[in-house]
Amino acid sequence: MKKPRANSRDKILAAAADVARESGPGNLSLDAVAQRAGVSKGGLLYNFPTKAKLMQALVEHHLQEFQEALEEARRECAQGNLLAAYVKLSAKKFEEDQPPSAWIFSAIAEDPDFLAPIRVFQRELFDRLKAETPDFKALLLTYFAVEGMRSASLFDFQVLSEQERQSLVSSLLSVAKGKLAPVPEPA
Amino acid sequence: MKKPRANSRDKILAAAADVARESGPGNLSLDAVAQRAGVSKGGLLYNFPTKAKLMQALVEHHLQEFQEALEEARRECAQGNLLAAYVKLSAKKFEEDQPPSAWIFSAIAEDPDFLAPIRVFQRELFDRLKAETPDFKALLLTYFAVEGMRSASLFDFQVLSEQERQSLVSSLLSVAKGKLAPVPEPA
DNA sequence: CTTACTGTACCGTCTGGACGGTCTTGTCAA
DNA sequence: TTGACAAGACCGTCCAGACGGTACAGTAAG
């Protein structure tokens, strides 16, 4: 009857994210995760021998997912514009704000070093963007504005209306396509 | 000397920020804070009767400081341009990355609701910016790019070189002053 | 026999916070 | 001036509970 194997791992990972969101990032306990995942504590510890390993897996799982989504978004994007794909993918994630990734705060609370893989990821992504984007200033503006939106959604700052957000996204796509120009100064 | 150690509160607040940075946001314990502040645990509990009150004070203290710095930066800014002041002040904070505010993660881990005052602050600030900035699209771009930089500095993503950061800041100031704008898409 | 768990019992440590005591300072009547 | 007294600021200790992790016996499937 048991369908063991990888299924459990994913269930546990999802449960951890749920618990972090519902009980607060500081109250993510192994007992709670096990219960939520419908798994015994022993079973949890069998899959992730320590809490640190759980957190690490959480981070890596998320990164891998994002990476795959990015590659796919790029394929769907005109001329394979990476920056535009990044903007679009991020915007899509911000819309479905159902799961505000609170698990990341759990990981940071556990040990700030869990951010290291994210740092590497972010750095590599930025380097790729630098290599592929002709207008560097436009890249800077776009990239950081997207990160700003991500930050706002992470902390749940709802500062923009639906329209305003769409307006910003379309501005960003314009800039990403190199449509940024100095305005002539009035004499 | 009505209050023998009136600055105890400030010492404790500073100590809490230090401990959060040095021991990790998840290891901010009252004992550690008390020790760091050169105060007994009883003394700490006297000033902040509960850990939650400590966290709240941490957030409010920080907000108040930022608010005052912003008003001052504005006075120093040409035409009292609020957006430009915001950019400049934020940029200044990012340079002195000595104290990456890890205490905020402690607060979130303790209880995500501690973000509420920040949300209010951010909303009010944005509303003021909206009222005072003629070009709304430029505001969006600038504001979120600044938030993106803040996020990068918070998570310690060092993705930019010194030059690159300065370049971005000057771009942002240009946009803030209306000298750079996304070109509207041709119909 | 191995894999992949379940279930229970247990341990050592850490933490928030309650509590009672102590020292210092200010106030005010005599 | 002085002595009594109250309030403010802080100290040290103790404790119940929670948490991460271990150990181990059992079990069902392949």
Domains of chain A and CATH, by start: 6-176 (1.10.357.10)
Quote the DSSP letter at residue A146: H
Q: Which pLDDT band holds residue A187 (cuts at 50, 70, 90)? A: very low
Q: Which of A89-103, B8-22, B134-148 has the lowest mean pLDDT?
A: A89-103
Max CA distance (Å), chain B: 72
**Mean pLDDT across the stretch B5-18?**
88
Tokens 């990821």 label which residue?
A: A121
Using a 10 angstrom Cβ sphere, with 0-12 exposed, 13-18 middle and 19 or more buried, the burial of residue A137 is middle
A30 touches strand D (CB under 7 A): yes
* Strand D contact nucleotides, protein CB < 7 Å: 8-14, 18-25, 28-29
pLDDT of residue B84: 95
pLDDT at B23 over 60: yes
pLDDT of residue B178: 72
B-facing residues of A in 116-155 (CB < 8 A) are: 118-119, 122-123, 126, 136-137, 140-141, 143-152, 154-155
B4 touches strand C (CB under 7 A): yes
CA of B43, closest CA in chain A: separation in Å?
25
B145 touches strand C (CB under 7 A): no
Kindly identify which residue of chain A lies nearest to residue B129, measuring between CA atoms: A159
> Can you give the three-state secondary structure of chain B, one letter per residue?
CCCCCCCHHHHHHHHHHHHHHHHCHHHCCHHHHHHHHCCCHHHHHHHCCCHHHHHHHHHHHHHHHHHHHHHHHHHHCHHHCHHHHHHHHHHHHHHCCCCCCCHHHHHHHHCHHHHHHHHHHHHHHHHHHHHHCCCHHHHHHHHHHHHHHHHHHHCCCCCCCHHHHHHHHHHHHHHHCCCEEECCCCC
Q: How far apart are CA B103 and CA B90, in angstroms?
A: 18
**Mean pLDDT across the stretch A59-74?**
96
Q: How far apart are CA A58 and CA A110, in angstroms?
A: 12
Span CA (A45) to C1' (C9), Å: 16
Cβ of A151 within 8 Å of Cβ of B149? The answer is no
B46 touches strand D (CB under 7 A): yes
CA of A107, closest CA in chain B: separation in Å?
9
Q: How far apart are CA B100 and CA B87, in angstroms?
A: 18
Q: How far apart are CA A97 and CA B64, in angstroms?
A: 30
Structural element, H or E, at residue A94: helix A82-95
Q: Which pLDDT band holds residue B77 (cuts at 50, 70, 90)? A: confident
Q: Which of A9-13, A115-119, B43-47, B99-103 has the lowest mean pLDDT?
A: B99-103
Span CA (B154) to C1' (C8), Å: 43
Which CA distances in Å does B99 have to A47, A86, B16, B18, B95? Answer: 37, 30, 12, 8, 10
The neighbouring-strand residues paired with A181 are: B181
Q: Which pLDDT band holds residue A28 (cuts at 50, 70, 90)? A: very high
pLDDT of residue A111: 96
CA of A3, closest CA in chain B: separation in Å?
35
Nucleotide closest in space to B6 (CA vs C1'): D9
pLDDT at A153 over 50: yes
Structural element, H or E, at residue A181: strand A180-182
Span CA (B39) to C1' (C21), Å: 17
A105, A122, A175 member nearest B182 (Cβ):
A175
Structural element, H or E, at residue A182: strand A180-182
**pLDDT 10s digits, B86-141:** 999 999 999 886 677 899 999 999 999 999 999 999 999 999 999 999 999 999 99
Mean pLDDT of all residues belonging to chain B: 90
Closest CA to B112 of A58, A18, A22, A16: A22
Cβ of A148 within 8 Å of Cβ of B152? The answer is no
pLDDT at B2 over 70: no
Closest CA to A169 of A76, A85, A71: A85
Closest residue by C-alpha to C1' distance, nucleotide D8: B3
* Tokens representing residue B86 in the block: 């915001």
Structural element, H or E, at residue A65: helix A51-76
Distance of CA B134 to the CA centre of its chain: 25
A109 touches strand C (CB under 7 A): no
Encoded amino acid at B32, one letter: A
pLDDT of residue A186: 44
pLDDT of residue A79: 77
pLDDT of residue B182: 62
pLDDT of residue A2: 41
Q: Please say whether the beta carbons of A171 and A131 come within 8 A.
A: no
